[in-house]
Amino acid sequence: MRVIAGEQRGMRLQAVKGNTTRPTADKVREALFHQLGPYFDGGIGLDLYGGSGAISIEAISRGMERMHIVELSKEAIKTITKNAKHCRVDQHLTIHQGRAQSVLKRLSCERIQFDFIYIDPPYKQQMIEEDIQAIVDGTLLHPDGVIVCEHDSSVTLPKEIESLETVHEKRYRDTTITMYRMSESEE
């Protein structure tokens, strides 16, 4: 695993030890950021299931000002911390240890709105619709923001969830990327 573009381009990232996390393939990550636009102009992002931190580090490398990472596993948090320090982006990260739904409730109390939200839960524990519902209920997505979901290709997500609509969907073998934005009538 490596950082694909931006200031930290080419820097190697460690994967979480064991088989409890599934890193996003470099090819999928590259296609994802190509679809979003190659670089960010600041902004705040949320990586709901942090794993190794690769998505957050990539986003910061490409210009995102701050990323919040939610992760339950202590082993994964150690890996995120090592990768962030190695890539010199640790000052741009806030790590929240806990279950996604609990952390989303805490973040909604802080009234933070995110420009980019990435949801990639373990494939066997996917509750993506529930996660998106909590994001909508907590008004955590900036009106111009995007939610990106990485999920098992056997899972079909709805085209609309509350005020959000699918703006892009692409399959990469057993992985599918689905992107949501606020529908035009809601903005």
3-state secondary structure of 103: helix
Q: In the beta sheet, which residues pair with residue 146? A: 116, 181
Inter-axis angle of helices 26-36 and 54-61, to 10 degrees? 40
Inter-axis angle of helices 54-61 and 74-86, to 10 degrees? 30
**Token representation of residue 94:** 């806030």
Q: What tens digit of pLDDT does each residue of 46-96 get?
A: 999 999 999 999 999 999 999 999 999 999 999 999 999 999 999 999 999
3-state secondary structure of 7: coil
Name every residue whose Cβ is closer than 8 Å to that of residue 17 and which is 6 or more positions away in sequence: 75, 79
26: exposed, middle or buried (C-beta count within 10 Å: 0-12, 13-18, 19+)? Answer: middle
Position 43 scores a pLDDT of 93
For residue 185, count other CB atoms closer than 10 A to its CB: 7
Q: What tens digit of pLDDT does each residue of 144-184 get?
A: 999 999 988 888 899 999 899 999 999 988 889 999 998 87
Q: What tens digit of pLDDT does each residue of 99-150 get?
A: 999 999 999 999 899 999 999 988 777 789 999 999 999 999 999 999 999 9
Phi-psi region of 53 (alpha: psi -120 to 50; beta: other; left: phi over 0): left
For residue 101, count other CB atoms closer than 10 A to its CB: 14
**Token representation of residue 81:** 């911390």
Q: Domain 26-182 belongs to what architecture? A: 3-Layer(aba) Sandwich (3.40)
DSSP string, 115-175: EEEEE---GGG--HHHHHHHHHHTT-EEEEEEEEEEEETT----SEETTEEEEEEEEETTE
